[in-house]
Amino acid sequence: MFTIYLPAVGDGVASSRQLNSFPANTEGSELILLVDDEKPLRNVLCTILETKGYRVLEAEDARSAMQILDTQTAPVDLLVTDIVMPGMSGPALAKQLNRTRNLRRAVFISGYSENFLEPELDGFPESIVLQKPFSAEAFLKSVRMLLERKLQ
């Protein structure tokens, strides 16, 4: 016989960068770029966002995201991306979009611990890390909180 110990999971939000309180209203109309190589997760997140009024551009990887943005004239308000993806990582994509399109807000999604990811996220302060698994409510509140945060 043996015992397995698993870490406790709260509401799925795990970030030292987050604010203390979440907004009550999670609806919006902003344009969000959603980048994730897992199609089922991307589809669910897109549906969650669209049901709350957000406009969503979907991409399966950083290369596809850049191609979509090349044809997009409206400014993107927020990046939602997986941290670990084939090719370019989510943080590398965020940093590039910050330089080229002044996109400074990002929700990073990851199954890895935040301590493991800290070097990747260094230099991108307008972000939140959501640890998998997370609830739709935690996701929407994180999105809304970042969109309402005043940029420095």
Position 64 scores a pLDDT of 96
Banded pLDDT at 7 (limits 50, 70, 90): very low
Q: Tens digit of pLDDT for each residue in 104-138?
A: 999 999 887 655 555 566 666 688 889 888 999 99
Q: What stretch of H or E contains 80?
A: strand 78-82
Dist CA 36 CA 102 (whole Å): 21
105, 127 contact by CB (below 8 A): yes
Residue 144 has pLDDT above 90, yes or no: yes
Dist CA 113 CA 93 (whole Å): 20
Dist CA 39 CA 42 (whole Å): 5
Position 77 scores a pLDDT of 95
What's the fold here for domain 31-148?
A: Rossmann fold (3.40.50)
